[in-house]
Structure 1
Amino acid sequence: MTTITKQLTADYDLTKSEKKKIIFLICSVLLFSVMNGTMFMIAIPDIAKSFALLPSQVSWVVTGYIILYAVGALMYGKLADIYPLKTLLTIGLILFAVGSIIGFFAPSFIMIVIARMVQAAGASSIVALVFIVPTRYFPEERGKVLGIVSSTMAFASGIGPVIGGIVAGALNWQFLFLISAFVLITIPFFRLWMPAEEKKEGKVDILGALFIAIGVATLMLYITTFALWYILISIAFFILFIWRIFNSQNPFIHPALFRNAPYRTTIVSGFLAIMTLFGMMFMMPLMLAEVNGLNTLWIGLTLFPGAMAAAFVGRLAGAMTEKNGSKQVVYIAFSLMVLGFTLLSTFTGSAAWVISIVIIISYIAFPFIQTSTANLISTVLPRNEIGVGMGIYNLFNFMSGAFGSAIIGKILDQKTGVALNPFTLADGHQTIYSNIFIGLVVLTILNGTFFYLAFKKSAGRLAHPRQA
C-alpha cells in the first residue's frame, strides 16, 4: 500500500456498512441525474407539439441543459478541492429538485428551459462528485467503485428512454420532471451518512471561473449551431482564461496541472474514446430508422440489450482495473471498440436483431474506458488537485459527446455509394454508415497508439530524469 493510500484511508475510518451506504446513495442520485438527460430526448417531439415550436426552438430543452451540465461539472470539481462533498451535494440536489418542481408546473416554454437549466446546475454536482467519492473516502477500492458508477451510468442511459416513453405516453411529458424531484428524499441520508469534513484552505478565482465558463458555454453553442460568432467569443474568453491562470495568485486551474504528462495523455485519449462511443450512440437511432425502418419504440428495444450489457460488465471493469491496472483496461477498451465498430460496419444493413447483438461489444467498451481513465486520473494527480482534475475530465467527456454527434451529423449529410469495408452488407446510401464505423476503427487505433507511446515516453523520462 502506498503512503498516499495510507494517508487517505486514515482520514476516513469507514466501516464496510458505511461504505455500502455511501455507494448506494451516490449510485441512486446518479441514476436520476443520467436518466434526466436521456428521458427528455424522447419527449422533445411532444414538447414541440405542446408549444407549437420549431425544431431549432425546442432544441434548447437539450442544449441549455448540456451547456450548464458541462460547465457545472467543472465548477463543482474545483469546489470539491475546498468545500465538503456533503455540502456541495446538498446544494446540488436541492437545485436539481427545485428545477424539477418548476418544470412540472411551468406554464410556458421559457419556464421549461429555465427549469431545465436549474436542473442542470444541480444535476452536474452529482456526476462531478461521484467520481471523487471513491478516491477520497475509500481509495483502496476506487477501481471497484468506479466500475459500479460506470454500470449505473450505462443502466440509466439505457433505461431512461424506455421510462421516458412510457411516462410521456401514459401520462404527460411534464411528469418526467416529477420523477427527478424524488432526489429530495436522498438529502437527509447524505447529511447523515456522508463523512464530516472541514473546509480546506483556498479560494475560488471568480474571474477565472467566469472566463472559462463563458468560453466553454460558447464553444458548446458553436458545436450545436455552427454559428461563427460563438467560436470567436469562445476563443477570446479562453485566451483571457489562459492569461488569468498565469497572472493570478490563486488561479482557478493551476497551469502545472496541464504539465502533468500522464494526466494530459489520459484526458486527450479519454476525450477521443468517448467522442467515438457517443458518436456511435448518436448515429445508431438514425441508422436504425433509415436503414431498418424502425420506429422510436423498436429503436429503443434494439439498443436496450447493449446498454444493459454495459451495466452488467461495469463491476468486471472495476475488478479488472483493481487487479491488472488502469492502463491494461484502457487497452482492453480500445480492443473492444475496434472489434465492435468493425462488426457494426460489416453488418450494417442486416436485420435489427442482428444489430442488437453486434452492438453489445461496442456498448460494453464504455464502462471499461470510463472506469480505467477515471481511476488513472485519480492515481496520477496529487490529492489537492483531484477535484479540479476530475472536473476537467468530466467537462471533456461532455464536450466529446457534443463533438462526436456534430461531426457525424455533418458526415451523414454527404452522399456516397463507395464502401470502405469490402465485407459490408450495406448497399447504396447505407454505406455511409458502414464507412463511418470504419473511420471510428481508424481513429481508435490511432488513439490507442498515441496512448501507448505517450505513456512509454513518460515512463522513459521517469527512468532517465537527466535526459527529460
Structure 2
Amino acid sequence: MTTIAGQVGVEKSLSRSEKKKLIFLICSVLLFSVMNGTMFMIAVPDIALSFSLLPSQVSWVVTGYIVIYAIGALMYGKLADIYPLKKLLTIGLSFFVSGSVLGFFAPNFEVVVLARIIQAAGASSIVALVFIVPTRYFQKERGKVLGIVSSTMAFASGVGPVIGGFVAGVLNWQFLFLISALVIFAIPFFWMWMPEEEKREGKVDIFGAALIAIAVAALMLFITLFNWWFLVSSIGFFGLFAGRTVSTDNPFIRPDLFRNGPFRTTIIAGFLAIMTMFGMMFMLPLMLSEINGLNTLYIGLTIFPAAMAAAFIGKVAGMLTDKCGAKQVVYIAFVLMIMGFFLLSTFIGSPTWVIGAVVIISYIAFPFLQTGTATLISTALPRNEIGVGMGIYNLFNFMSGAIGGAVIGKILDYDSGVLINPISFAQSHAIMYSNVFIGLALLTVLNGFYFYFAFRKIVWIEDRKPL
C-alpha cells in the first residue's frame, strides 16, 4: 500500500533576524558553488590553449568535477541524517577552498584536474546541505525558503558564464579559482548563526558507500565519455551494492525508501524534467553560436536576463508552494516548460533579442520545478531519512543533466530536412534544433501525465485505506 509519510519534528527556535542571516548565508555559498561549475565551462577553451591539450583531454576539467560532485551530493546527504550540518559544511567548504587555492597555483594540467576534484568534493556539500536547511529549520516557511534557494541556483547558472568570460578574458582563467576561494569567509558565520545540533544515532555503511560511489562514478563516466566498459562496471558495482543492501542490518540506502510512492514518483518526474531543462540549457549556447553567430560574451548576455527573471520569480514559487501546495507548483513548471520549448522551436533563426525574450519563459520554470520537487521530497520522507532522500534527489538531478547534454549533443551531430513544427522559422541546420525543442516539449507533456496519474493513484489509496 502506498501512503504519504508524515513529517515529524519541531522547527528550531530561531528569531526572524537569525532566519534572515541563515538564508543569506546558505544562498551566498550556494551562489559560489553553482557559479564555480558554469564559470569553468566557459574557460575550457582557454585552459586547453594554455596546456596545448586536445578537447578529449581538457574535458576532464568538467568531467572530473561532475563525477565527484554527483557522488558527494549523495554522501553528504546521508551524513546529514547523523552529523550536525555546520560541521559537514565546515568540512565541505574547507575542501572547496583548498581545491581553489591549489588550482590558482597549479603548475600543470594534472594539478588543475586534481584541484577541480578537490573543489567538487567540497562544493557538493553545499548543494546537498542547503536543501536540507529549509526542511530542518524552516518548517512553516519551507516552500518560501526553497524558492529563494532555487532562485539562487538559477541566478548563479546565468551569471556564471558572464563572470567567467569576463574574468578569463580580462585577467586569466586561473583567477576563476581565486573567486571560488572567497567562500572561506563564510565558515565563521556558519558557526555563529547555525543552530547547535547533537550527533544523532546511526552509523554509515562505509563498504556500501564505497560500492555505490564506484557504481555512480562509472555510470557518470559512461554518460560523459560513452565508454561501454564503464557501463558494465557500473552495473556490476550496482549489483554488489544491491547484495550488500539486503545482507546488512544497516544499509547505506534502505531498500524500502523507493517503495515510498510520493518519493519514487517525484524522483522519476524530477529526473525527466531536469533532463529536459539541462538539455535546453546545453543547446542554447550552441544554437546562439551556430545560428545567430554570437561569441561567448554575447551568448552570456543573451541568457543573463532569463537568469535574472528566474531569480526574481523564485520567491513567488516558494510562496505559491506554501499557499497552494507543491504539486500545483510542479504543474506550473511543466506548463512553462512546454510553452518555452515550443516557442524556442518556433522562433529559431529570429533576431537575438527575440530569442532572449523567449528563453525567459523556459528559465522561470526552473525555480518552480526545483521548489516543488524539493518540497515534495521533504514532505514524503520521515525526518531521519530526509538527508539521504535529498542526496538521492540531487544525485538523480546531476545524472539527468549529464544524460540530457550527452543525448542532445549526439542528436545535434545529424541534420534533418523534416520540420516537425509547421510554424517554425527554422532553416538548414536550425531545423534540427527546432525538432529537438519540440521533442523536449512532448517529453514534458508525457512527464506531466505520468506525474498526475501517479499522484492520483496515491491519493486514491489514501482516501480508501487511511493509516
1:131 aligns with 2:127: no
Are the aligned partners of 2:205 and 2:252 in contact in 1 as well (CA < 8 Å)?
yes
The aligned runs of 1:24-103 (5 Å cut-off) are 24-103=24-103
Letter in 1 for 2:54: L
Residues 202-242 of structure 1, C-alpha deviations (whole Å, 9 max, x = no match): 00001111111011111110011111100000000111111
Task: Kindly provide the CA deviation profile for residues 245-303 of structure 1, in whole angstroms up to 9, marking residues without a partner as x.
Answer: 11111000001100001100000000000000000000011111111111111111111
Q: Secondary structure at the match of 2:349?
A: coil
Which one-letter code corresponds to 2:364 in the other structure?
I
- Separation (CA, whole Å) in 1 of partners of 2:237 and 2:376: 30
Where 1:167 maps in the other structure, the secondary structure is: helix
Instruction: Write the distance in 1 (CA, Å) between the matches of 2:117 and 2:82.
Output: 25
CA contact (8 A) 2:6 2:381 kept: no
Q: Note if 1:396 corresponds to 2:396.
A: yes
Alignment of 1:13-28 (within 5 A): 13-28=13-28
Letter in 2 for 1:7: G
Q: How far apart are residue 167 of structure 1 and its match? A: 1.0
* CA gap 1:416/1:5 in 2 versus in 1, 3 angstroms: closer
For 2:8 and 2:385, locate their aligned partners in 1 and report how far apart those are by CA, in whole Å.
18
Q: Deviations over 1:72-101 (max 9, x none)?
A: 000000000000001000000000000000
Q: Determine the structure 2 residue equivalent to 1:241.
A: 241
The corresponding residue for 2:452 is 452
The equivalent residue for 2:373 is 373
Distance 1:192 1:342 in 2: 48
State the Cα RMSD in Å.
1.3
Does structure 1 retain, via aligned residues, the 8 Å contact 2:8–2:383?
A: no
Distance of 2:186 and 2:330 partners within structure 1:
34
Contact 1:5–1:139 (CA under 8 A) maintained in structure 2:
no
Extract unaligned runs of 5+ from structure 2: none
Structure 2 counterpart of 1:254, one-letter code: R
Contact 1:5 1:140 survives alignment (8 Å): no
Query: Is 1:313–2:296 an aligned residue pair?
Result: no
Q: Offset of 1:414 from its aligned partner?
A: 1.4
Contact 2:143 2:321 in 1 (8 A): yes
The corresponding residue for 1:187 is 187
Distance 2:78 2:120 in 1: 17
Please say if residues 166 and 297 of structure 2, whose CA atoms lie closer than 8 Å, have aligned partners that are also in contact. Answer: no
> Residue type of the partner of 2:304?
F
Amino acid at match of 2:186: T
Q: Deviations over 1:428-450 (max 9, x none)?
A: 22110010011011100000000
CA distance in structure 2 between the partners assigned to 1:352 and 1:110 by the alignment: 39
> 2:10 aligns to what SS in structure 1?
helix
Once residues 234 and 454 of structure 1 are traced to their aligned partners in structure 2, the CA distance between those partners, rounded to angstroms, is 29
The whole-number CA distance in structure 2 between the counterparts of 1:182 and 1:339 is 39
1:377–1:390 CA contact under 8 A, matched in 2: yes
Consecutive unaligned residues of structure 1, counting only runs of 5 or more, are none
Secondary structure at the residue paired with 1:292? Answer: coil
The SS at the match of 1:173 is coil
Which amino acid is the alignment partner of residue 341 of structure 1? Answer: F
Structure 1 letter corresponding to 2:78? K
Q: CA deviation at 1:413?
A: 1.1
User: For 2:427 and 2:371, how far apart are their aligned partners in 1?
Assistant: 37
* Counterpart-to-counterpart distance in 1, 2:332 and 2:406: 27
Equivalenced residues, count: 463
Instruction: Measure how far apart 1:460 and its partner are.
Output: 1.3
Matched, 1:323 2:332: no
The 1:210/1:5 distance shift into structure 2, 3 A limit, reads closer
The letter for the 1-side match of 2:9 is: Q
Cross-structure match for 2:149? 149
Q: 1:156 to 1:243 in 2, by over 3 A?
A: same
State the AA in 2 paired with 1:8: V
3-state SS of 2:18 partner: helix
Matched residues in 1 for 2:101 and 2:243: separation? 40
Code of the residue aligned with 2:268 in structure 1: it is: V
CA distance in 2 between counterparts of 1:336 and 1:4 reads 30
* Letter in structure 2 aligned against 1:36: N
Provide the rounded CA distance (Å) in 2 between the counterparts of 1:93 and 1:332.
35
Equivalent residue letter for 1:358:
V
**Equivalent residue for 2:406?**
406
> What amino acid sits opposite 1:362 in the alignment?
S
CA distance in 2, matches of 1:208, 1:101: 32
Structure 1 match to 2:342? 342
Structure 1 residues 150-299: aligned runs within 5 Å: 150-299=150-299
Contact 2:416–2:432 (CA under 8 A) maintained in structure 1: yes
Give per-residue Cα distances to partners, 1:139-186, cap 9 Å, x unaligned. Answer: 111100000001111111111111111111111111110111111101
Q: CA 1:4/1:380 → structure 2, altered by over 3 Å: closer, same or farther?
A: closer
The reply on whether 1:7 has 2:32 as its aligned counterpart is no
Secondary structure of 1:200's counterpart equals coil
Mapped partners of 1:353, 1:20: distance in 2:
36
What is the rounded CA distance, in whole Å, between the counterparts of 2:87 and 2:6 in structure 1?
A: 25
| Separation in structure 2 between the aligned mates of residue 62 and residue 429 of structure 1, nearest angstrom | 27
**1:458 match: secondary structure:** helix
Taking the aligned partners of 2:182 and 2:156, their CA distance within structure 1 comes to 15
Return the offset for 1:4: 6.7
Once residues 51 and 409 of structure 1 are traced to their aligned partners in structure 2, the CA distance between those partners, rounded to angstroms, is 25
Could you tell me whether the CA contact under 8 Å between 2:7 and 2:379 is conserved in 1? no
Name the CA distance, whole Å, in 2 between partners of 1:322 and 1:463.
23
Distance in 1 separating the partners of 2:302 and 2:23: 30
**Matched position secondary structure for 2:327:** helix
Aligned to 1:465: 465
Structure 1 pair 52–295 and aligned structure 2 pair: CA distance change class (3 A): same
Tell me the CA shift for residue 5 of structure 1: 6.6
Q: Deviations over 1:336-365 (max 9, x none)?
A: 011111111110111111100011100000
Q: Which amino acid aligns with 1:387?
A: G
The answer to whether the 8 Å contact 1:326/1:375 transfers is yes
5 Å-filtered alignment, 1:412-427, equals 412-427=412-427
Counterpart Cα distance in 2 of 1:76 and 1:103: 23
Q: Deviations over 1:413-468 (max 9, x none)?
A: 111111000000001221100100110111000000000000011111112339x9
Q: SS of 2:173's equivalent? A: coil
Q: Is the 8 A contact 1:348 1:430 kept in 2?
A: yes
Asked if the contact 2:9/2:383 (under 8 Å) is kept, the reply is no
Counterpart check, 1:436 vs 2:436:
yes
Structure 2 SS opposite 1:76: helix
TM (normalized to structure 1)? 0.97
